[in-house]
Structure 1
């Protein structure tokens, strides 16, 4: 069994896999890390590997606490990935984005793939049908958009995510909801339209914490899976083992 851990900017996601089958998913706060891993390993004592992708600020030592119980692997830029990295600054490409690109490459072979990860930031990552990673885009996620309007203006309130009643906001709150949610959806659909115009044999993978919310609102047909990064971690780790 493999325990995969995704350390994001705000939360930690984890999952236990038996080969390609997900046995259970977990979400918890960073301060709960050691306690939660202990509970997971108690529930799944046959876990032999702990695989980590981190963009958050948790020290490696917290994971190395479990080295005596199982093999610990942190994905880095030095690992083997199933795509050719054509990014102009490859060492600056986030490990989470690399794992997502690897998962898309392995799960959807010989296709053009666009991975959209809607979390604290929204990232777009494109891998062509020849397994070349070409790049993508980064912009603020839903929560950051609400927070920035509140933090960088004098009077706009701090709102939480809400479906706007109309694209025409008839109050300050509704105008903000319309701007954030509709603007977000228009952005994603616009990017997808650009890729569709230039590439055929195309699949779109939508993941991240806001994936389910967005999937119902996008005009384009997508493959939505909020746990795609955890699944990609497991797949990429198996790929690494097979190709080391």
Structure 2
């Protein structure tokens, strides 16, 4: 079986593929100074309670936007799964040409998402990844990564609002019943959720105008389902798009 790992700034997503079937997907918090053995202990316990024998895992693919943790997980995979991981980086075959001023500065997760989207839809795509950051990654109809936009994630914005104000409380991020909030909490939920929906619709609309053909718009990331439920701008919602892309790229390179 194939273990795929997406190391993000806030959380680490794990997936186990048996052939082309995603058996389980898991998420753990990103802790910068956690050691390989600590992450291994956590991962092995999660695999055990989900009925996955670690000895059945013989392949690993990972992407990371947290450089200090990249080697941590590479060491972990070699020690506990006896597998030399494929780490997505410059020079990795992805099926997507990068048309950026500096291709090396593009996050590996963005390239993985772009590769997955183009493989699935075979057309121009906009992948909106709603996680720690909100990224808008654009793939041309010929399969080229041509750029996009980056904004703070909704959770970062909510934390900044409460940390920089004396009287505004921390809130649970979910959509209120109406835009006019009748309490401070409801007003904040309206501003955050509907405000980010407006941001998404606005940027997607601008990108669409710059493309020669209509794109397929895909939502992914931890807040995809929350925000996609409040707008019709998305053609598809795929929370596990990055995991699918990692599987795709693994077999593309290790075939």
The answer for unaligned runs of 5 or more in structure 2 is none
Distance 1:207 1:176, change over 3 A: same
Distance 1:63 1:38, change over 3 A: farther
Moved more, 142-151 or 70-79: 70-79
Match of 1:46 in 2: 56
Q: CA deviation at 1:62?
A: 4.2
What aligned pairs does 1:101-112 form with structure 2 within 5 A after superposition?
Answer: 101-109=114-122, 111-112=123-124
Distance 2:94 2:18 in 1: 21
- 2:100 is the counterpart of 1:94: no
Q: CA deviation at 1:74?
A: 1.4
Q: CA deviation at 1:233?
A: 0.6
Residues 174, 226 of structure 2: 8 Å contact kept:
no
RMSD of aligned residue pairs (Cα, Å)? 2.0
Q: CA deviation at 1:44?
A: 4.5
Which aligned segments of 4 or more residues in structure 1 are displaced greater than 6 angstroms?
A: none
Residues 218, 234 of structure 2: 8 Å contact kept:
no
Residues 44, 54 of structure 2: 8 Å contact kept:
no
Match of 2:248 in 1: 235
| SS in structure 2 at match of 1:71 | coil
Residues 143, 160 of structure 1: 8 Å contact kept:
no
- 2:39 is the counterpart of 1:28: no
Q: CA deviation at 1:134?
A: 0.9
The answer for unaligned runs of 5 or more in structure 1 is none
Match of 1:11 in 2: 11
Distance 1:83 1:63 in 2: 24
Match of 2:65 in 1: 55
Q: CA deviation at 1:161?
A: 0.8
- 2:191 is the counterpart of 1:184: no
- 2:170 is the counterpart of 1:164: no
Distance 2:39 2:121 in 1: 32
Distance 1:130 1:28, change over 3 A: same
After TM superposition, the score normalised by the length of structure 1 is 0.90
Match of 1:202 in 2: 215
Distance 1:48 1:62 in 2: 15
- 2:120 is the counterpart of 1:120: no
Distance 1:232 1:62, change over 3 A: closer
The count of residues paired between Structure 1 and Structure 2 equals: 241
Distance 1:218 1:154 in 2: 32
Distance 1:193 1:218 in 2: 13
After TM superposition, the score normalised by the length of structure 2 is 0.86
